[in-house]
Amino acid sequence: MTATPTALGTVWSRLVGQARAIEALRTAAGGHGMSHSWLFTGPPGSGRSNAAVAFAAALQCDHTGSEGAGCGQCHECHTVMAGSHADVQVVRTEKLSLGVKEIRELVRRSALAPVGRRWQILVVEDADRLTEQACNALLKAIEEPAERTVWMLCAPTVDDVLPTIRSRCRLVTLTTPTADDVAAFLTRVDGVPDALASYAARASQGHIGRARALARDEATRNRRHEVVSLPARLTSLGACMTAAANLAEVTKEEADLITGELDAREKAGLDTAYGVVDRGRRPREYAPALREMEKDQKTRAKRRHLDVVDRALMDLVSVYRDAIALSAGAPGRLVNEEIRGDVERVVRDASPELNLQRISWIFEAREQMLEFNVPVALALESMMVALRAPDSSVR
């Protein structure tokens, strides 16, 4: 069970390995160096949105003690962390992009005075997914913010946000937490046994959400094991094609499990809203609303599949990174310590230079799918064959 903010202490307690960022945010919440616009950046899983929400709670906090604003105990902190505070709006998208319609609604809200006595706070997750029109709409609001409005944008890097927007924001850079920090968090917060926490922390490569999933769910651990076992099995063209097909299928099944339940709830909600269940018939307005919902669900399913595939590709990268580290005699445990024998086989069969090239091929496949809309199965087939190639001339 996930611990509540009260059980964890302050609102900052769920931010792992981010002491420097926490200090800067706590200082700003206390009235020093405050800005109307903030940009939170950091690698996936570092806690960008968690940091923004914690900062929002600190800004609304009723109390300041030895820890400063963000006590985690007061009504304001609890409602912000629970997502129910009247003056804190968090926008996230399951689509491939965040459009102008959603941003214009936020801009409209940003001009209103807060209900409470502190701030109107607007948190935009996935600011890197803003369309051009959405960026233009947001820029004007950030250039001329209302007196008690605070914008918080979250993106992987500063380069993922338009220069005109990022230049008007105060930057908060988060780092990848260490495996020790993540393991300690899992043990302290979720009560995960030490050995399992250590495995989940290493396997997640600092991604907090992924670490928690690995620690909690055996099926998730099994799926990851299948992925990281692939490099040692890519010994023939047939094996490469089979691996690509299996990976595409498994990731699609996992994505469908994630989105299926949400799709069903949305459909039930739509039926209830239009009285389909009560009246036993469909009003004229129902059909276009259903089409629009199904269109959004299809877009969300595509993004979720790409997200799951992307995570699998990062797991593959970790094997080749382990091989390079092992070749170089680097100290410390491998990310994939549990399959050290497979990693040693990869080391024997290829030079560090080839393994580095293999990592670049994985990132090429990632770019093809995410940026150029290449079908997942095709991109994975090309990648798997490249991973088996003895040199860069075989592509």
- For residue range 251-264, what is the model confidence (pLDDT) as tens digits? 999 899 889 988 99
Share of the chain above pLDDT 90, in %: 76
Predicted local distance difference test score (pLDDT) of residue 155: 95
CA distances from residue 163 to 4, 39, 66, 158, 257 in whole angstroms, order as listed = 37, 12, 38, 8, 38
Predicted local distance difference test score (pLDDT) of residue 395: 38
pLDDT at 66 over 50: no
Predicted local distance difference test score (pLDDT) of residue 1: 34
Predicted local distance difference test score (pLDDT) of residue 6: 38
Predicted local distance difference test score (pLDDT) of residue 14: 87
Task: Report whether 53 contacts 90 (CB < 8 A).
Answer: yes
The strand pair at 64-65 and 37-41 is best described as unpaired
**How many Å apart are CA 126 and CA 89, to the nearest integer?**
14
Distance of CA 105 to the CA centre of its chain: 24
pLDDT at 248 over 90: yes
pLDDT at 28 over 60: yes
Share of the chain above pLDDT 70, in %: 94
Q: What is the DSSP string of 79-117?
A: HHHHT--TTEEEE--SSSSB-HHHHHHHHHHHTSPPSSS
- For residue range 336-373, what is the model confidence (pLDDT) as tens digits? 999 999 999 999 999 999 999 999 999 999 999 988 99
pLDDT at 8 over 70: no
Average pLDDT over residues 30-58: 93
What's the token pair of residue 165?
């927007």
Predicted local distance difference test score (pLDDT) of residue 245: 96
pLDDT at 393 over 60: no
CA distances from residue 312 to 23, 93, 180, 366 in whole angstroms, order as listed = 34, 21, 23, 10
Question: For the whole model, what pTM was predicted?
Answer: 0.82
- Computed over every residue of the chain, the mean pLDDT equals 90
Predicted local distance difference test score (pLDDT) of residue 389: 55
- Among 150-164, 267-281, 381-395, whose mean pLDDT is lowest? 381-395
The strand pair at 68-69 and 64-65 is best described as antiparallel
- For residue range 166-224, what is the model confidence (pLDDT) as tens digits? 999 999 999 999 999 999 999 999 999 999 999 999 999 999 999 999 999 999 999 99
Can you point out the beta strands (E) in the chain? 37-41, 64-65, 68-69, 88-91, 120-124, 149-155, 170-173
Residue of 81, 64, 80, 72 lying closest to 29 (CA atoms): 64
Average pLDDT over residues 134-151: 92
Predicted local distance difference test score (pLDDT) of residue 237: 94
- The CA dihedral of 228, 197, 305, 264, to the nearest 10 degrees, is 140
**How many Å apart are CA 280 and CA 50, to the nearest integer?**
43
pLDDT at 4 over 60: no
Predicted local distance difference test score (pLDDT) of residue 125: 93
Better-predicted residue by pLDDT, 9 or 118: 118
Predicted local distance difference test score (pLDDT) of residue 390: 62
- For residue range 284-314, what is the model confidence (pLDDT) as tens digits? 899 999 999 999 899 889 989 999 999 999 9
